[in-house]
A = this chain, B = another copy of it.
């Protein structure tokens, strides 16, 4: 079984497992990622999130729309009239606080299979591989 298939299999199970945690709160994985990003980074724009996640803006835009409608995030406009500064509302933070411990536990549990050194090495490798793909394998 190749490394790449194992990544694929693991990733699928992991996201599926996340879904079981998030679905009772009516959140998709991507919704959660947005909540988490805002909690960690604070005030930020759609473009920045898209860059961080390495996705296109409409993907972020759709999640912003969903969570704004649910009152979980709020929007402020900056000096640049085009930009929307996103942050969590109080109920957004509350919901985050309810969910995060379980996800944290899951992640810690999974990461306990790796030493800190290994984790660091693997993350580095993932990053390098990603760069290779980004730069066209030059």
Q: Which residues of B sit under 8 angstroms from A15, Cβ to Cβ?
A: 8
Assess A127 versus B8: contact at CB under 8 Å? Given A109-B132, A133-B13. Answer: no
Interface centre among A4, A53, A111 (most CB of B within 10 A): A4
Q: Which of B52, B53, B110 contacts A132 (CB 8 A)?
A: B110
Q: Which residues of B sit under 8 angstroms from A53, Cβ to Cβ?
A: 5, 9
Q: How far is the CB of A124 from chain B (nearest CB, A)?
A: 8
Q: Which residues of B sit under 8 angstroms from A119, Cβ to Cβ?
A: 3
Q: How far is the CA of A1 from the CA of B33 in the complex (A)?
A: 12
| Chain A interface helix/strand/loop/mixed | helix
Q: Is the CB of B13 within 8 A of A54?
A: yes
Q: How far is the CA of A114 from the CA of B6 in the complex (A)?
A: 15
A11 interfacial contact with B, CB 8 Å: yes
Q: Which residues of B sit under 8 angstroms from A3, Cβ to Cβ?
A: 107, 111, 119, 122-123, 126
A14 interfacial contact with B, CB 8 Å: yes
Assess A122 versus B123: contact at CB under 8 Å? Given A107-B4, A109-B132, A130-B9. Answer: no
Q: Is the CB of B127 within 8 A of A6?
A: yes
Q: Which residues of A contact B (CB under 8 A)?
A: 1-15, 17, 33, 52-54, 106-107, 109-111, 113-114, 118-119, 121-123, 125-130, 132-134, 137
